Amino acid sequence: MQPTLKHFINGRWETGVTLGVSENPSDLSEVVAEFARADAAQAETAIRAAADARDSWADSAPQRRFDVLDTIGSEILARRDELGRLLAREEGKTLPEAVAEATRAGQIFKFFAGEALRQTGERVPSVRPGVEVDITREPVGVVGLIAPWNFPLAIPAWKIAPALAHGNTVVFKPAELVPACAHALAEIISRAGLPAGAFNLVMGSGRSVGQTLVDHPLVDAISFTGSTSVGEGILKAATARRAKVQLEMGGKNPLVVLDDADLGRALDCAVQGAFYSTGQRCTASSRIIVTAGLHGRFVQALRERTQALVVDHALKRGSEIGPVASEAQLAQNLSYVELGRREGAEWLTGGERLQRDTRGHYMSPALFLAEPQHRLAREEIFGPVACVIRAADYDEALALANDTPYGLCAGICTASLKHATHFKRHAQAGMVMVNLPTAGVDYHVPFGGRKASSHGPREQGRHAAEFYTTVKTAYTHAS
Ligand code: NAP
Ligand code: MG
């Protein structure tokens, strides 16, 4: 048995108040890690450490921040295979997907290392003679980072890296399902040259550790990725005490397929977007809206492609779809499959629990023909469950695509420049994909959505500065 994973608080590894266990969803006989869990008081210790380190890190030189982040990025990239393997074991995405995620986490740290050097401001003439105006960005202070389980390396990376690059100190609370990934990241960060307290890892439940971060007066800003329901509670609590808050929440992302689409490409986009990573992506295509002329052929081919997907152990060569991450998520997925049948959606394939050589949370990818009003077609499921909705033409497809409380990503497959251009402009989503899957984004450009999917400034790329800094306007009279 490996040693119990510890919290990282004020530059030291600390035991917790209780213990938790992280399981391998591909093989429930394997314990991935035993980990320390904090209570609210221990979370508060980490918050105080971050507050004490605040000035020293805020005053650090850009070269030092660059060096720290670049060191972290280099180590992640050098160890991407090992980290990817850990991720695949703990979260259940396939090994190639997991290695790609580890790579992305390394690239994110490298990108934000550069951002630490590229801090800029503006000097503008005052409207008054003899006065100069400087507009600069300063760190926000202590940031609380709360992450979900589905991208256990990349999402923490895209919060921690910009937070540190812009001079903030961090308390990071990972999801309880993925402590080993969080710990591996923290272990790399712990050796990169930060002052004690600048980065803290506290593991434990959302209700206790997460809520303490949200409510604590020393936490200046909260960046949260997770479900809409938890996000809404965080928004209320953080706003009430005027903390800065950024939320990335759910999605019910449409992929529109028009009659003139390249059928092979559209199928690739649908299969990849709906089912890869076991459908556990906030950008997954869970509503596939197909116009009448291609509908019959598309549905038949998509059904065949879905049935051919290989669902197995995340580490097995040839696995295309790993297990669902947890028993609770699997139960939710299966209950939506049941609901779909009950409410009259036409079942095409999948949606069944599967047995494999090892005992794990396996299910076959599910495909339905649904009507726009079905709950199956409206609510986020966060699993390998997709539905096809028929549209008469482009105009109806666009209206259906936008008929959702969510607005994270929207995709279209078409050969028409006119429709692609119109869709890019009129899709009510933060991100739009043309002839690409809705899931799968670059790391150097903004990420985020509209409506119930997001709140606050965008994450990633240069736009991350909006959340992780606060603007100062300074006036100087020369005499
Ligand atoms: P979740 O239940 O909302 O949990 C997200 C994080 O919040 C976890 O670390 C959780 O801790 C914590 N938390 C729970 N209750 C809390 C509270 N009262 N106060 C503070 N923190 C609290 O989401 P999930 O089940 O991990 O992830 C699935 C959801 O995330 C899906 O809805 C998906 O769409 C969304 N998601 C969105 C994006 C995006 O960028 N838009 C990306 C990935 C996932 P625990 O460890 O106790 O669970
Ligand atoms: Mg949850």
Q: Of all atoms in ligand 1, which is nearest to the CA of residue 251?
A: 34
Q: What is the residue type of 412?
A: I
Distance 43 CA to ligand 2 centre (A): 20
Question: What is the pLDDT, as a whole number, of residue 268?
Answer: 98
CATH number of this structure's domain 254-434, picked from the four choices 3.90.180.10, 3.40.309.10, 3.30.300.30, 3.50.30.30? 3.40.309.10
Question: Which residue among 181, 282, 283 has the greatest number of ligand 1 atoms within 8 angstroms of its CB, and so is best to mutate?
Answer: 282
List the catalytic residues.
248, 282
What pLDDT score does 479 carry?
Answer: 81
| pLDDT in the model for residue 478 | 83
Nearest ligand 1 atom to the CA of 408 is: 41
Q: Among all ligands shown, which has an atom nearest to the Cα of 149?
A: 1
Q: What is the pLDDT of residue 1?
A: 63
Question: Could you tell me what percent of the chain has a pLDDT over 90?
Answer: 99
Among protein residues, the one whose CA lies closest to atom 39 of ligand 1: 248
Helix (H) and strand (E) counts in the chain: 14, 22
Sequence-separated (6 or more) residues with CB below 8 Å from residue 358: 26, 27, 28, 29, 313
**Residue 146's pLDDT is what?**
99
Q: Give the model confidence (pLDDT) of 240-287 as tens digits.
A: 999 999 999 999 999 999 999 999 999 999 999 999 999 999 999 999
pLDDT score for 190: 98
In the chain, which residues have pLDDT < 50? none
End-to-end CA distance of the chain: 69
Average pLDDT, the chain: 98
The DSSP annotation for 394-461 comes to HHHHHHHHH-SSEESEEEEE-S-HHHHHHHHHH--SSEEEESS-SS---SSS-B--EETTEESSPBSS
Ligand nearest to the CA of 173: 1
pTM as predicted: 0.98
Indicate if 254-434 has the same CATH topology as 7-249+453-477. Answer: no
Residue nearest atom 37 in ligand 1 by C-alpha distance: 249
Residue 274 is predicted with a pLDDT of 98
Beta bridge partners of 406: 451
Pocket residues for ligand 1 (CB within 6 Å)?
A: 146-150, 173, 175-176, 205-207, 210-211, 214, 225-227, 230, 233-234, 248-251, 282, 380, 382, 408, 453
47, 104, 230, best to mutate for ligand 1 pocket (most atoms within 8 Å of CB): 230
Please answer whether residues 364 and 303 qualify as being in contact, where contact means their C-beta atoms are separated by less than 8 angstroms: no
The residues spanned by each domain of the chain are 7-249+453-477, 254-434
CATH class, domain 7-249+453-477, is alpha beta
